[in-house]
Amino acid sequence: MFKFKQFSVRDDQSTMKVGTDAVLLGAWVDVGKAKTILDIGTGSGVIALMMAQRAGSSAHIDAIEPDHVSAQQASGNFKSSPWAAKISVHNTTIQEYHHAPHDLIVSNPPFFSKSLLPPSAGRQNARHAETLSFDDLLTSIKRLLAPEGRFAVVLPFAEGNVFLETAGRYGFKCHRTMAFYTRAGKPQERWLMEFSAKGKTQVKDAGTVILYGDGDKWSEDYRHLTGDYYL
């Protein structure tokens, strides 16, 4: 069990474990005044719970998870949290999910197009881009995003650059980015990006964050970013 300041998450049955990518996205996303939030590929539910902690009292989070066992575990995590009435889990694919438009959509999407064999078939499906291509994801977001809505993703550096170009073809503009590094002097590992269908592409660089500072100690920037969640 992963214990955060206001909730706990079990992920032993989930195809997607609690990891740095999910926590980064959940902490970085600007929830603002969003009343309806969609988490695509919730896994164990950690991003949905992070959204619930920061969203207003009248907000509602819908969490999509196609894997049945993962969806069950996410549901259990939601029910044991302080926001049980605020989050709904849907055991379906995003392509089959139909709902009124959402103010905010978040996703830690699959990105491995070709990779070595993962530890399990479930995790392979969860991380294999061919089960949810960027085109499928963006088509679904376009259908499910409110006209004034925003969506945010976290992706590896190379895949993030491809996604940025692909999102432009769907009419989405990138308005905010953050670069993530594990250590100073190492190549960039992740892009965090926020899009909308409104306005012009005017990227606001939200800077960079480095995971480790001195040795294996978290950097002050990472501690500050995730300070509302980590013990």
Spell out where 36-172 has E strands. 36-40, 60-64, 87-90, 102-107, 145-156
pLDDT of residue 129: 43
Q: What is the pTM of this model?
A: 0.90
pLDDT of residue 132: 77
**Torsion angles phi and psi, residue 212, rounded to 5:** -110, 135
What does pLDDT average to in each consecutive run of 10 residues of the chain (231 residues)?
A: 96 90 96 97 96 97 96 97 98 95 94 44 44 89 97 95 95 95 95 90 80 93 96 87
pLDDT of residue 68: 95
pLDDT of residue 113: 41
pLDDT of residue 167: 96
Crossing angle for the helix pair 20-28 and 46-54, to the nearest 10 degrees = 20
**Paired sense of beta strands 204-210 and 87-90, if any:** unpaired
**CA 136 to CA 193: how far, in whole Å?**
18
**CA 201 to CA 195: how far, in whole Å?**
9
pLDDT of residue 221: 95
How far does Cα 204 stand from its chain's mean position?
Answer: 19
Q: State which fold the 2-225 domain adopts.
A: Rossmann fold (3.40.50)
